[in-house]
Chain A
Amino acid sequence: MAVATGNSFASRFGVHIAVLVFVAIWTIPTLGILVSSLRVKDQIIASGWWNSFSSSTQTEAGRLPAASTQVEKDGKFVLQGNIFGDGAARNISAFGVKSASPTQYPAGSVADLGDGVTLQLNADGSFVMASPKAFEGDRGQRVYYASSAPPKFTTDNYKTVLFSEGIGRSFMNSLTVTIPATVIPILIAAFAAYALAWMRFPGRALLIAVIIGLLVVPLQMSLIPLLKLYNGVGSFFGVPSKTYLGIWLAHTGFGLPFAIYLLRSYIAGLPREIMESARIDGASDFEIFVKIVLPLSFPVLASFAIFQFLWVWNDLLVAMVFLGTEADQIVLTAKLNALLGSRGGDWEILTTSAFVTIIVPLIVFFSLQRYFVRGLLAGSVKGG
């Protein structure tokens, strides 16, 4: 499609800008959690992630040491030291002694606190407080200061979520659920699809209609009866009702209509001559299927596998109903949902966990986009 619209420079420029804006809106949200997951906790709170490459400024409060550390020098009582103690590489730009005006004095200047008391706080955190009278009390002077810390990136968040927040274990659980739930439906669907495409039998048209109908049946319709069924089977045989086997079968069932629909429309489109010449050579349906149809259907099998993989990996509803919430069963999506509740404001944990959960789909998506798009087109343009 080459439309001769807008050949002027201005309108071509406009198209570039418009697409750029769309791309920005669509990528910035994901970029936000990626960048945040690599920042240290203090900086995530102190500044927006879009500022993460410049120094972050935050206003903090500290307390000078108590009167007991004072020394007498030139007739004055002096407190000296570094407010950071550890000598962390931070840069103070201003300070103050009232919470209402925490940045009253620029760093390095000598502030007059009244009664001849002076305080000097330098950019590196060293301070000198002097007074004509001896300091008293065991609580030192409160000091507020605006400090800036250089941008600091770390992979510690990933270590934390993977090994102490249980995300690593959930990652394994997700893989355990996803791989069998992707592989099992393929063969079952492929045989059914071949029969529905190339074999003649009474009720075939009805079966196809039923499968197309089932494509859109909301998952919600299945949940309660299956939950009851699983509980019943579990108590009858004295086994747990929430098992990996249960969720593998459930995902197989929920994925089958789409699998059969997608494979059938592809297999039905294979050239009739190939089938017929094979049949004349004496091949049975089984042989035709295994030796001719399966190899030719590889692209559509790949498409379906990617769909099912993404759908199962990203699923929350089925996992919440059919799997437990203990560490040995909770999948990534459910874990992330639980963290949203328990670690509500801890963005270093949430952003990192979120990124761990989306990284596998993103890799699958980018490496196999061709098959994904093909499946999408085949699956939706024609029907459901």
Chain B
Amino acid sequence: MASQIFSAIFVIIVGVGGCVAYFWGANKLVDLIFPSRGVAGAAAIDNLRRQGLIRPWLFVGPAMIILTIYLIYPVVETLRLSFLDRGGANFVGFANYEWAFGDREFRNSILNNIIWLAVVPAACTFLGLIIAVLTDKIWWGTIAKSLIFLPLAISFVGASVIWKFIYEYRGEGQTQIGILNAIIQHFGGQPQVWISLPFWNNFFLMIILIWIQTGFAMVILSSALRGIPEETLEAAVIDGANPFQIFWKIMVPQIWGTIAVVWTTITILVLKVFDIVLTMTNGQWNSQVLANLMFDWMFRGGGDFGRGATIAIIIMIAVIPIMVWNIRQANKETGGH
């Protein structure tokens, strides 16, 4: 273990030192090859121009190399693998895609993912908005927001343990140590094994993600609400609008852009949701989702890379509209810069 700590410290020093050495050294090298100081006017200008051509690439170079290896190449390779067989040796055309849409588990995952997509972003945004509005009105709102925000720092696995404990089931009549079944039993209901109730278990898993992500929506929306010009609200009050009208007709329309951002961010997260399903049910009892199914196929029976890659591509296809929208928005913003 001591050697492990030592090697971690060593990596930090080598990594940071290496970065510094690279940037400093590369920069020096450019200065040496194309000197701009101490040479005659025309040559200096010429060299400055050359420096200007090279230096940006020295700055972005390391990032581009890493991005290429870790993200750009894999995207292309995954697409290629999705047309190959399990070992990646033979071309099989669209066979993996045909398999996917004929596979019961895959179709179940698609259905579940659609339910997740319909419920989680909406619930987080809605709850986040409500809490943001309410906490704005009370003196201890900041503390309340902090506490609701807190689950965002907790890992999905940790959150799964937390909620598994809430859903814990004991036979009827026994002392329930899971708070949900305890409440149900207290009011005379029948305790349930929540995470293995087909179909409904999806919602019990979604609650975990909603619990984590509502704080995110709340913080972003809260800051957007603060940006609403006060005159618009005052005018509405003078015109005799009630709180609900003010909320729906004055406040919400002014923060549509932010709501869209929160919604899409959580949507992407939902498409990638993996840890919660793996730790809670591992896809049993019809609770499978695409990301977990993909992970499963990476290793199932020694791993089927063709099918795994196909499922990854399906997730990617779902993300593409959001990606295009993001790039367009960013282009609009940076257009002038």
- Residues in A lying within 8 Å of B, measured CB to CB: 1-6, 11-12, 15-16, 18-19, 22-23, 26-30, 32-33, 36, 44-50, 58, 169, 172-173, 175-176, 179-180, 183-184, 187-189, 191-192, 194-196, 199-201, 204-205, 207-229, 244-245, 248-250, 252-254, 256-257, 260, 268, 284-286, 289, 310, 313-317, 320-321, 328, 333, 336-337, 340, 347, 350-351, 353-354, 357-358, 361-362, 364-366, 369, 373, 376-377, 380-384
**Contact indicator A225/B73 (Cβ below 8 Å):** yes
CB distance from A374 to the nearest CB of B (A): 10
Bound complex: CA A228 to CA B74 (Å): 10
Main SS of the interface on chain B?
Answer: helix
**Contact indicator A244/B157 (Cβ below 8 Å):** no
**Contact indicator B23/A380 (Cβ below 8 Å):** no
**Chain A positions within 8 Å of B176 at CB level:** 48
30 CB contacts below 8 A, A to B, read A3-B137, A12-B137, A16-B138, A19-B131, A19-B144, A22-B144, A26-B148, A32-B165, A48-B175, A180-B15, A187-B16, A192-B60, A196-B60, A207-B64, A212-B327, A223-B298, A225-B81, A226-B74, A245-B11, A253-B69, A316-B157, A316-B275, A317-B275, A336-B157, A350-B161, A358-B153, A362-B150, A376-B220, A384-B265, A384-B326
Question: Given contacts A32-B179, A373-B219, is CB(A22)–CB(B157) below 8 Å?
Answer: no
CB distance from A141 to the nearest CB of B (A): 25
Main SS of the interface on chain A?
Answer: helix
9 more contacts with CB within 8 A, not counting A29-B166, A223-B295, A351-B161, are A1-B226, A6-B243, A199-B56, A218-B315, A220-B295, A244-B8, A253-B66, A333-B158, A365-B150
**Contact indicator A212/B330 (Cβ below 8 Å):** yes
Q: Answer yes or no: B192 CB below 8 A from chain A CBs.
A: no
**Chain A positions within 8 Å of B136 at CB level:** 1
Partner of B153, one of A26, A46, A328, A362: A362
Q: Which residues from 267 to 302 on chain B have a C-beta closer than 8 Å to any C-beta of chain A? A: 268, 271-272, 274-275, 278-279, 291, 294-295, 298
Q: Answer yes or no: B111 CB below 8 A from chain A CBs.
A: no
**Contact indicator B66/A317 (Cβ below 8 Å):** no
Closest to B24 in A: A286
Partner of A381, one of B73, B220, B226: B220
Bound complex: CA A49 to CA B24 (Å): 58
**Chain A positions within 8 Å of B74 at CB level:** 221-226
**Chain B positions within 8 Å of A214 at CB level:** 67, 71-72
CB distance from B150 to the nearest CB of A (A): 7
Question: Given contacts A179-B12, A381-B261, is CB(A354)–CB(B161) below 8 Å?
Answer: yes
Bound complex: CA A49 to CA B179 (Å): 8
Bound complex: CA A354 to CA B156 (Å): 11
**Chain A positions within 8 Å of B230 at CB level:** 1-2
Closest to A311 in B: B155
Q: Answer yes or no: B90 CB below 8 A from chain A CBs.
A: no
**Contact indicator B279/A19 (Cβ below 8 Å):** no
**Chain A positions within 8 Å of B291 at CB level:** 218, 220
Partner of B71, one of A224, A253, A351: A253
**Contact indicator B158/A336 (Cβ below 8 Å):** yes
CB distance from A302 to the nearest CB of B (A): 16
**Contact indicator A317/B295 (Cβ below 8 Å):** yes
Q: Answer yes or no: B333 CB below 8 A from chain A CBs.
A: yes
Give the interface size class of chain B. 35 or more
Bound complex: CA A208 to CA B156 (Å): 31
Partner of A224, one of B24, B278, B309: B309
**Contact indicator A244/B63 (Cβ below 8 Å):** no
Question: Given contacts A207-B60, A216-B268, A310-B153, is CB(A248)–CB(B148) below 8 Å?
Answer: no
**Chain A positions within 8 Å of B114 at CB level:** none
**Contact indicator B154/A33 (Cβ below 8 Å):** no
**Contact indicator B274/A201 (Cβ below 8 Å):** no
Q: Which residues from 122 to 172 on chain B have a C-beta closer than 8 Å to any C-beta of chain A? A: 127, 131, 134-138, 140-141, 144, 146-158, 160-166, 168
Closest to B305 in A: A224
**Contact indicator A204/B56 (Cβ below 8 Å):** yes
Bound complex: CA A49 to CA B137 (Å): 33
Q: Answer yes or no: B117 CB below 8 A from chain A CBs.
A: no
CB distance from B92 to the nearest CB of A (A): 16
Partner of B319, one of A49, A209, A218, A254: A218
**Chain A positions within 8 Å of B326 at CB level:** 212-213, 215-216, 383-384
CB distance from B70 to the nearest CB of A (A): 3
CB distance from A153 to the nearest CB of B (A): 16
**Contact indicator B316/A195 (Cβ below 8 Å):** no
**Contact indicator B141/A19 (Cβ below 8 Å):** yes
**Chain A positions within 8 Å of B272 at CB level:** 218-220
Bound complex: CA A212 to CA B268 (Å): 14
Partner of B211, one of A15, A26, A314: A26
**Contact indicator A23/B334 (Cβ below 8 Å):** no
Q: 1/0 per position for B30-56, CB-CB distance to A under 8 A?
A: 010000000000000000000011011
Bound complex: CA A302 to CA B180 (Å): 39
Bound complex: CA A257 to CA B75 (Å): 15
**Chain A positions within 8 Å of B81 at CB level:** 224-225
**Chain A positions within 8 Å of B268 at CB level:** 216, 218
CB distance from A276 to the nearest CB of B (A): 15
**Contact indicator A383/B77 (Cβ below 8 Å):** no
**Contact indicator B19/A187 (Cβ below 8 Å):** yes
Partner of B330, one of A22, A208, A229, A254: A208
**Contact indicator A316/B161 (Cβ below 8 Å):** no
CB distance from A60 to the nearest CB of B (A): 13
**Contact indicator A383/B329 (Cβ below 8 Å):** yes
